[in-house]
Structure 1
Amino acid sequence: MRIQKVQQAAVLLFAERGFAATGIREIGRKLELNSATLYHYTGSKEDLLVGIMRLALENLSTMGQSAVARSARPIEQLGYLVSAHVGLAALNPLTSKVIDHELRSLAPRNYETLLALRDEYEALWAEVFERGLSVGEFAKDTDAKVARLAVIKMCNGVANWFHADGPLTIIEIQERFVNLAGRMVGVDRLSDQLSEGHVTPVKLDVEPTVWAG
């Protein structure tokens, strides 16, 4: 069995029950493995969570860097960051929930390591907001910190309600959220200013599909 299958089972259970309420035995039962065999693949339950979160946060950071690199204009960079983040959350909802909710479940050393990865990603957003204000592309009364936190939280929330068989496609969700973010900084129809179009999201290896056991 590949570690990817173990991680997918863990993500499914962590997202459904929470990290604290999920035991290593439950993960083993999901995979039809005994605990001893499962430890061979992953080590402790926290080691498993750390591996999942590290992979996801590293992908998030890489995605963010690529989004910002698409344009030199802060207003476009904001649009691409929102498009990328929303796409990732919509295509990887269970992993996104685990990243968003379980960071504080980690022991201090692991918490600090993964917090640094998350902060590295959020620093991309902070720089875009600061530059957008300094060059006059964002409204002068924009509170950069509050707007940044609000936009990221808004994007994270997509994982809680988006369904692939729902009335809106991922691209339609990306467009709406880009326009909402644009309005927060005083720009109408920001999606129309994205010269390269929306970011195509990638499904993470740890994201479960329909579980077949």
Structure 2
Amino acid sequence: MGTESESGGTSRSRARPPRRRREEIFEAAAGVFHEKGYKATSIQDIADAVGILKGSLYYYITSKEDLLFEILQGVHREGLQNLERIEATSGTPMQKIRAFATLHVRHNAENLVKMAVFFHDFRSLSPERQQLIVAERDLYDQHFRNLLIAGQKDGSVCPDLDPKLTAIEIFGMMNWIYHWYRPTGSLSMDELAQTIADFVVAGLACDPTTHAPGHRRAFAPMPDVPPPRLDPTADETGD
């Protein structure tokens, strides 16, 4: 039986597109989305970035949204694979929390452009596809909250902490690195991941034998901060 060529020739059956070419297209599309924004990017822009004809691009995709969805789903798929790696270990909850933070930060640092596209262009997906991504995200987030709860049960994670709020705070810190981290800087990816993992563990750790409610605030009590000074030139009447 015949196959369909990349240049768009007709055929009674379609050969599976080469995986390497698909990856090149996804990488190029992520770069263009990041540079121009999803809505401002055309299929021609992506074809030019890949170095193929616009018609050839449709051999691999059916729409621009297909590309965005594949990029975002790929980000989650790799994250879920990291969960499987963590669960394959026999470590304590706190050790798994360290592994989770380390792998999460490392993954984000290796995919800075894709992470930027994820956070900037997620809502450009159709509602149905957004729901699929959110379902995977919720599964990932819940896994981390479960580790926090397990740590509280064995006494390694401070019981004062609310698992849901704590997870949101930690993810906020880890996910924001796409905005400021550059691999060409003085901090390697491994150093970045280790530093943030250290920070996460230190912020969660608790000695159950000496724990007292609110003890964390005793490390640095809030000082008496004076109120803001009023601008003497401001019109107090508001007129």
The 5 Å alignment of 1:100-111 reads 100-111=119-130
Question: Bigger shift: 13-22 or 54-63?
Answer: 13-22
Name the residue aligned to 2:31: 12
CA distance in 2 between counterparts of 1:67 and 1:101 reads 29
- From 42, 45, 55, the counterpart of 1:23: 42
The residue correspondences of 1:36-185 to structure 2 (distance < 5 A) are 36-185=55-204
Show structure 1 runs of 5+ residues with no match.
189-213
Q: Which residue is 1:204 aligned to?
A: none
Aligned equivalents of 2:119, 2:111: Cα separation in 1: 12
Cα distance in 2 between the residues matched to 1:54 and 1:38: 20
Matching residue's letter, 1:32: G
CA contact (8 A) 2:155 2:206 kept: no
Structure 1 vs Structure 2: percent identity of aligned residues? 26
TM-aligned CA distance change 1:154 to 1:55, over 3 Å: same
Aligned-residue offset at 1:35? 2.8
TM-superposition CA deviations, 1:34-72 (whole Å, max 9, x none): 432222221100011111222221111111221243244
State the Cα deviation string for residues 121-168 of structure 1 (Å, max 9, x = none).
112101101111122111121121111111112111222222222111
CA distance in 2, matches of 1:186, 1:97: 31
Deviation at 1:187, TM superposition (A): 5.3
Structure 1 residue aligned with 2:225: none
Which whole-Å CA distance do the structure 2 matches of 1:12 and 1:34 have between them?
Answer: 18
**Please, which moves more after superposition, 57-66 or 32-41?**
32-41
Task: Number of aligned residue pairs: give it.
Answer: 188
Measure the CA separation in 1 of the matches of 2:197 and 2:22.
Answer: 35
Aligned-residue offset at 1:106: 0.7
Q: Which moved further from structure 2: 178-187 or 78-87?
A: 178-187
TM (norm. structure 2) is 0.73
| Structure whose CA Rg is larger | 2
User: More helix by proportion, 1 or 2?
Assistant: 1
Distance in 2 separating the partners of 1:99 and 1:172: 24
1:104/1:33 CA distance change after superposition, 3 Å: same
Amino acid at match of 2:71: I
Distance 2:167 2:131 in 1: 22
- Cα displacement (A) at 1:176: 0.9
1: CA distance, partners of 2:143 / 2:36? 32
**Structure 2: stretches of 5+ with no match in the other structure:** 1-5, 7-20, 208-239
What's the C-alpha RMSD, in Å, of the aligned pairs?
Answer: 1.9
* Displacement of 1:94: 0.8
**Runs of 4+ displaced beyond 6 Å:** none
1: CA distance between counterparts of 2:132 and 2:193? Answer: 30
